[in-house]
């Protein structure tokens, strides 16, 4: 857990979270990426009542999220470090 490894340096970062997709696992934490996270049957839980949960995750992480009900997917867009944070929240 935690957000260790997000410090300065500007070089390539390597994250210890073994289940990260390869596009998140290493590289510039400021590079903007779009990733899909599978959440079949969990779309409503990710969105929350009147969108409260997804808005809270966006506010906490700075990443943008989109969930299409019935799709089983959550799309996260933002800098690599923020995408990792949003993925961990969802």
Owner of token pair 């210890």: 16
Beta-bridge partner residues of 40: none
pLDDT by position in tens, the chain (length 90)? 444 444 444 455 444 555 777 767 777 878 888 988 888 998 889 899 999 999 999 998 889 999 987 889 999 998 887 777 787 776
Output the CA angle 80-86-90, nearest 5 degrees: 145
Residue 50 to residues 44, 46, 47, 56, Cα–Cα distance (Å): 10, 11, 8, 11
């Amino acid at each position: 857990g935690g957000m260790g490894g997000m410090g300065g340096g500007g070089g390539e970062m390597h994250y210890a979270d073994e289940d990260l997709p390869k596009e998140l696992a290493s590289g510039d934490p400021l590079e903007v990426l779009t990733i899909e996270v599978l959440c079949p049957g969990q779309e409503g839980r990710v969105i929350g009542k009147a969108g409260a949960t997804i808005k809270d995750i966006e506010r906490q992480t700075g990443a943008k999220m989109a969930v299409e009900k019935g799709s089983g997917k959550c799309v996260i867009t933002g800098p690599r470090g923020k995408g990792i944070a949003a993925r961990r929240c969802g």
